[in-house]
Chains A and B, each alone.
Chain A
Amino acid sequence: MIQVNSLISIRNLEKIYKMGDVEVPALCGINLDIEKGEFVAVMGASGSGKSTFMNILGCLDRPTRGTYRLEGQEVGSLSSNQWAYLRNHKIGFVFQGFNLLARTSALENVELPMMYNGLQSRERHRRALETLSWVGLGDRIDHMPNQLSGGQQQRVAVARALVNRPSLILADEPTGNLDSKTGAEIMELFQNLNRREGITLVLVTHEADIAEYANRQIHFRDGLITSDERSNEGKE
């Protein structure tokens, strides 16, 4: 049953939150495989379970039942230190609110993930510069987040997610705080990442036109996947 070559393999995944005595189910048995190099958009209303799903995918939250394999490795049974290792090496996060460190230069923000994997400072520097240039901010490396536009801040965040060369980037409403033009630019950046660098992307959004950039759209409702459509050609 289990496809060994899948990047992500999820079986019967359940997540139940306890609010005092009441049990609130957030995910009610999800089965999903995501292959290397896919660009997946996760859609659904708030409360549909998509955020919980993303948290579990990002090794930030533990499932109540079921299995989650990342590159064939069962993740649910790992220690929190091993999770930190996975977040550092395998997963990059891009958030709606950018989540950059305030009063810290773009360069240092991008260097942040490499501070937790023992890279030498020269190598950190080199890779952060390279990645910032890749996202088109090679001339803004010393700017603080408050000196950058929203789109530029999100590019810094993308560079930070990218810098440790993860196999998976998770983006939680990355265009939610941006105007449509800047949002489109960020989406093009993601598309480039996916097509040229072959990085697997999972993106949460509630905007249909943003989801069209992906080549697979998954809909969540009441903790279940209601539809899973592939379109070979993403939006140009």
Chain B
Amino acid sequence: MWLMTLRIALRALRRNKLRSFLTMLGIIIGVGAVIAMVAIGEGAKALVKAQIASLGTNVLVIVPGASMPGGVRTGFGGVRTLLDSDARAIAEEVPAVALASPSLRRTEQVVAANQNWATLIQGVSPEFPQIRGWQVEEGRFIIDGDLDNAAKVAVIGRTVADNLFGNEDPIDAVIRIRNIPFRIVGILEAKGQTGHGTDQDDTIMVPYTTMQKRIMRITWVQSIHVSVVSAERMKEAQDQITALLRQRHRIQADQDDDFTVRNLTDIAAASSGTTQVMAVLLGSIASISLLVGGIGIMNIMLVSVTERTREIGIRMAVGARSRDIMLQFIVEAVVMAALGGALGIVLGVGSSDMIHRFMEWPVLIRPDIIAFALLVSGGVGVFFGFYPAQKASRLDPIEALRYE
């Protein structure tokens, strides 16, 4: 029975190939748009998620200066209030904090043999890779011994390794920063770009003591990176760090903080919220086109019912029940919608792939969205096919047989 109804429906659709195709086009475009738009939205979300992960989990950054507006402040790192002893105190005295590393950064021209490259030099402690969730690919990272004697050792990022050494092995090679020779002891694994497109691998890490004494010639640090033991204790850690630093910096109760504790995950989460909104927006716009496609199906089914009034009369005269007629037209609408849905999936997946290839946007095609799109298009067929089918099933056979 069902198979036969399906065959009848397919034949009816084949009879008006162009019309059926144009009607399906609404669904094809609708489903294709939903899949492509959701793929773009999901791709952006996945990218942001990856970026959050690349920041390291549960990371706080302490920078000098209050984040409150008011008063004149110098630029980042210009305020000389944070010391490496603050970092040590935070690591030792705040229970919610697992690790802490001072950080100093400056861009310098780096020379290796006959190559040179401008890159970001970061002065950090041995804990830094753990805080940021970064691995050393080859060699070793900075060790405590390097800090004690401000050793002239460097760990380089993948981009720096590629630009200065090409295919040669950089380990134990010597590079010059501000004409000071540094021995390369390790290479960091590739980490990729940040959310703002900065290449994180375009960097060189040296002991922060070396950075302070030999390169920047300062005694303070520019920021302190801290990893908190768990996500639940972020707020607690933030409060404890604030209390500790206020005490260490001898800030009176009525005075503002001379530092700011930033939660990088919060900032990233805000940006992921934006992407979420974008994904929902894209998805809903695409859903509207699916709705319009459904209306197209309803329109054509109504035309079809009118055109085939006599056929309906004949079928009723030879014994078709109202529900046989109804089923026939609903199946026709559903076949049209589902076929459109299937082609729409091909279009959606294809265009997502094109967007990925030619525009280099991240896309993520979710199989559940594909299943959902197919289900929805079938549902659109039932929903928009119902009224025309009901109209057909309620025709008076006498009138229908007489219809010209």
Contact = CB atoms under 8 A, between A and B. Distances in A.
B317 interface: yes
Interface stretch (A67-75, A83-91, A188-196): A83-91
Interface stretch (B122-130, B150-158, B308-316): B308-316
B314 A84 contact: no
Interface stretch (A25-33, A35-43, A114-122, A131-139): A114-122
A60 B397 contact: yes
Interface residues of A, number: 27
Interface string B1-22: 1001000000000010000000
A116 B317 contact: no
B316 A84 contact: yes
Nearest to A112: B318
A118 B1 contact: yes
Contact of A84 (B1, B313, B320, B398): B320
B401 A95 contact: yes
B401 A116 contact: no
A84 B321 contact: yes
B371 to A, nearest CB: 32
20 contacts: A58-B317, A60-B317, A60-B397, A61-B398, A80-B322, A81-B322, A84-B324, A87-B317, A87-B319, A88-B318, A93-B317, A95-B401, A99-B310, A99-B313, A102-B311, A112-B315, A113-B318, A115-B4, A116-B315, A116-B321
A58 B4 CA distance: 26
A178 B156 CA distance: 98
A61 B397 CA distance: 9
B244 to A, nearest CB: 84
Given A93-B317, A99-B310, 8 more contacts: A60-B317, A60-B397, A80-B322, A99-B313, A99-B317, A115-B4, A116-B320, A160-B318
Contacts of A99: 310, 313-314, 317, 401
Nearest to A55: B398
Given A55-B398, A61-B398, A101 B314 contact: yes
A88 B319 contact: yes
B394 to A, nearest CB: 10
A149 to B, nearest CB: 20
Contacts of B313: 99
A230 interface: no
Interface in B103-135: none
A85 B397 contact: no
A211 to B, nearest CB: 23
A85 B319 contact: yes
A117 B321 contact: no
Interface string B283-324: 000000000000000000000000000110111111111111
Contacts of A60: 317, 397-398
Contacts of A112: 314-315, 318
B319 A117 contact: yes
A235 interface: no
Interface in B1-54: 1, 4, 15
A58 B359 CA distance: 68
A116 B318 contact: yes
A60 B396 CA distance: 8
A68 to B, nearest CB: 16
Given A95-B401, A116-B324, A89 B311 contact: no
A103 B310 CA distance: 14
A99 B308 CA distance: 12
Nearest to A51: B398
Nearest to A116: B319
B321 A93 contact: no
A116 B324 CA distance: 8
A139 B316 CA distance: 28
Contacts of A61: 398
Contacts of A160: 318
A60 B321 CA distance: 12
B15 A103 contact: yes
A5 B42 CA distance: 76
A160 B313 CA distance: 15
Interface string A94-129: 010001111100000000110111100100000000
Contacts of A85: 319, 321
Contacts of B322: 80-81, 84
B139 to A, nearest CB: 76
A173 to B, nearest CB: 13
